[in-house]
Structure 1
Amino acid sequence: MDVSQLLSSINVITSSGQLATADPQQRAQLSRACDQLKSLCESPLEKTIQLLFAGHQAIAIRLAIDLKLFDVITSRSSEASDGIFTLQHVLADVKADPKLILRIMKFLASMGILEQPSTDTFKPTAFASAYVSASPLSAAVIHFTHFLTFISRLPEYFDTKGWKNPENLEDSPFSFALGTQSRYFDYLSSKPYYQTAFNTVMASSYRRSEKNWFDFFPVEEKLKLENPSDVLLVDVGGCQGEDLYTFKKKFPNLPGRLVLQDLPHVIEAGKIPNGIEGQGYDFFDEQPVKNARAYYLRNVLHDWPDKQVVEILSRVREAMNSQSLLLVEEKAMPETDVPLMAAVGDMSMMVSFSAAERTKKEYECLFNQAGLRLTGFWKPEDASEMQPALFEATLF
């Protein structure tokens, strides 16, 4: 097929409506194929322009979100049979300069989020409703555009620090950007708007794995207890207990106690599900639950530099006996061909905490430093690049 035939085929597909019936997996495959095709077609100049001005587009969406413009657009367009609304319709509900609102909406139209049939009329595309206030995607825009504030200072940070890899929690790129020794989570707690956005993003279904760890880990073979009064599983840093609750629903007859641990204020503020014991605990302190069959940490270690990771693991190791397992669920970075979103996650951990997304070898090294031996590495065969792995470790 020559280029003209390929172009003709693409135009036929995009104008035929065939993609409307594609399922999510097919859409993802097509999107990746389109990305590969685009990378072969664009010049270095075109690639650079796309990268440089991506921030402008993100900020344009952020401005509209802060103004609750998408809420108004969705409401107003639903009142018209053709979905078209005017600038005057928006002005009644958005308190901002009309000229500014018009500029923002024109920008959104250039991005394909709105259509602009005439000078002062607009129509939302399918993307517009994704950014209403109740959407987790709007929270993601707030969170990540705010995070650009810190990322933009990386060149200065590394120039000042002699281009050394960040390894000190008290001297992170985040603290440098803010000119303080405040830690990222402490800072967020003082900024309700950004804390709310962060919490929404962290709790979003978009972040949940395709499969739970106990869907591909041999639970009934590995987690056996004879005495139901013994502790079966401790979820260390488990927030509100969603993972333990889902685990209990899948294995209702598995003997043993389930213990949820997090900071005292998290446990006190939450509604702990029935059948799960809540316990206030800081994972840098001595582990109060001794000799449990398994200790589980999900997305904990990537928030910390190597030194603190070893400390956290050591506290668990001190509480384990020869029958205990440590189960750690984290993304395992590939040694080569790192996916873009994995690289983005790694940079985010570096900026926020002087931490990292790590490879299997790097985690194994940290386990060894804490006196633990990696005995298993579990991941579904059909797992996507975003599916975390489950590391299994025991005492040496």
Structure 2
Amino acid sequence: RLQSLNEAQALVQRLKKPWEKAYQMTWVEPILLFTVKASSEMGLFAALETRPKTPDELAKTTGTDARLIGRFCRILAVNDIIGATDENAYFETELSRAFADPDGLVNGIHHSFDLILPVITKAPAYLREKHYDSPSDGAHPPWRTFMDSPDLWTWFREHPDAHAHFNSFFAILRAGMPPWTSMFPPTKLLKDFDASTMLSVDVGGGKGGDARHLAAAVSSSHPQARIVVQDQPEVIAAARESKDLPSQIELMPYNFFDEQPVKGARCYFLHSICHDWADYEAHQILMRVKEACTPGYSKVLLLETVLPEKVQDTNPRAAAMDINMMLLFGALERTERQWRDLLEGAGLKFVRRWEVEGNAQCLIEAS
């Protein structure tokens, strides 16, 4: 499916003339983004049903102007976000149903307005002032200039609604991806596992989503294997409120720039941690992990994007995320060569990559 989708998208791009591409980028995509946000906030998506409705019917349901409804529905329909009949009545689609859920994908649209759009409007001037030097200072990333805040996480604490949009959107994205245990067989961790040690330490593991996957995979054969989830105190406090946390999982406040308190675990797992940091800071994070490892026993697993060495093989989403990481953190998405260099610089050995179709990320095994 993914190969067919990529080939179809590549064909469409080849068929477009330059002015058509520019028109799409300049007017269609930004206006569509605005329309989806406004339509969500006015209740349009929630008002749609499988039965086609006229703009007058939708206006009555939402308490809004039928003329505005009609104009919004036109652009939504021609972009296949909602369905339309020959009589200009409108009905729901799989995508519009997703946008109707206030806890669902629409949070990605809100996130764009909260964060992405404010940042990219200021980025050109910033790069001009810096003489187009590629940002790579994790201590002073472009973000600090754009948003007048020391870092993204401080800004999120000051803007809880924006943080909620971000968390909800990424939870939906991760829920749609295969679990990391489908890439890396947990049996490789269980082989020669010493039950007196932690099976896994999930560094920066949030509320424990990845740890739950591991717990489910090993609970029948090794019900006493212990898994630690580490994150900032406020994240751990929120995780403690969960009523269904597996008994194998322990929660621990921790800053990954500090000495790792759990020594000699079978595995140290980091999901999308290093891509938030420039090389200097990422090196420091991995050094703390390396110092805690037992040589010949501990494994380091990184669930991260690995950019292809050939540009033409790169997924557009991964290329865009690389720019996003640069603007927010002075960080980057890395190629396999760059990951090898980063790991080796921290005294770790790159062992291999694990991947499955349908997951945008790879699992990097190191020791």
**TM-score above 0.5:** yes
Q: 1:32 — aligned with what?
A: 6
Structure 2: distance between partners of 1:226 and 1:111: 53
Q: 2:154 — aligned with what?
A: 186
Question: Residues 190 and 217 from structure 1, CA distance in 2 versus in 1: closer, same or farther, beyond 3 angstroms?
Answer: same
Shift of 1:293: 1.8
| Aligned partner of residue 153 in structure 1, secondary structure | helix
Report which of the two structures shows the higher radius of gyration computed on alpha carbons. Answer: 1
Residue type at the aligned position of 1:345: M
Q: Find out whether 1:312 has 2:285 as its counterpart.
A: yes
Q: 1:341 — aligned with what?
A: 317
Question: Residues 153 and 235 from structure 1, CA distance in 2 versus in 1: closer, same or farther, beyond 3 angstroms?
Answer: same
Question: Residues 226 and 303 from structure 1, CA distance in 2 versus in 1: closer, same or farther, beyond 3 angstroms?
Answer: closer
Shift of 1:288: 0.6
Q: 1:89 — aligned with what?
A: 57
Question: Residues 251 and 157 from structure 1, CA distance in 2 versus in 1: closer, same or farther, beyond 3 angstroms?
Answer: same
- Tell me the TM-score normalised to structure 2 length: 0.87
Structure 1: distance between partners of 2:262 and 2:156: 30
**Aligned residue among 206, 213, 218 for 1:246:** 213
Shift of 1:392: 2.3
Question: Residues 361 and 65 from structure 1, CA distance in 2 versus in 1: closer, same or farther, beyond 3 angstroms?
Answer: same
Question: Residues 70 and 208 from structure 1, CA distance in 2 versus in 1: closer, same or farther, beyond 3 angstroms?
Answer: closer
Q: 1:18 — aligned with what?
A: none
Q: 2:201 — aligned with what?
A: 234
Superposed CA RMSD: 2.5
Residue type at the aligned position of 1:342: A
Q: 1:329 — aligned with what?
A: 303
Deviations 1:15-55 (A, max 9, x none): xxxxxxxxxx3xx5543343233233221111221222211
Question: Residues 197 and 268 from structure 1, CA distance in 2 versus in 1: closer, same or farther, beyond 3 angstroms?
Answer: same
- Tell me the TM-score normalised to structure 1 length: 0.81
- 8 Å contact from structure 1 (residues 379, 388) kept in 2: no
User: Where do 1:280-299 residues align within 5 Å?
Assistant: 280-299=253-272
Which protein has greater RCO, CA pairs closer than 8 Å, 6+ apart? 2
Alignment gaps of 5+ in structure 1: 1-24
Q: Find out whether 1:149 has 2:122 as its counterpart.
A: no
Shift of 1:248: 2.0
Structure 2: distance between partners of 1:358 and 1:40: 27
Q: 1:200 — aligned with what?
A: 168
- 8 Å contact from structure 1 (residues 223, 294) kept in 2: no
Question: Residues 257 and 84 from structure 1, CA distance in 2 versus in 1: closer, same or farther, beyond 3 angstroms?
Answer: closer
Residue type at the aligned position of 1:43: K
Shift of 1:279: 1.1
Structure 2: distance between partners of 1:205 and 1:36: 23
Q: Percent identity?
A: 28
Question: Residues 115 and 288 from structure 1, CA distance in 2 versus in 1: closer, same or farther, beyond 3 angstroms?
Answer: same
User: Where do 1:1-396 residues align within 5 Å?
Assistant: 25=1, 28-53=2-27, 54-72=29-47, 74=48, 77=49, 83-94=51-62, 96=64, 99-112=67-80, 113-115=82-84, 117=86, 122-126=89-93, 127-134=95-102, 136-146=104-114, 147-178=116-147, 180-205=148-173, 208-212=176-180, 214-225=181-192, 227-252=194-219, 253-254=221-222, 256-270=225-239, 271=242, 272-322=245-295, 323-336=297-310, 337=312, 338-374=314-350, 376-380=351-355, 383-384=357-358, 386-394=359-367
Shift of 1:63: 1.3
Instruction: Count the aligned residue pairs.
Output: 354
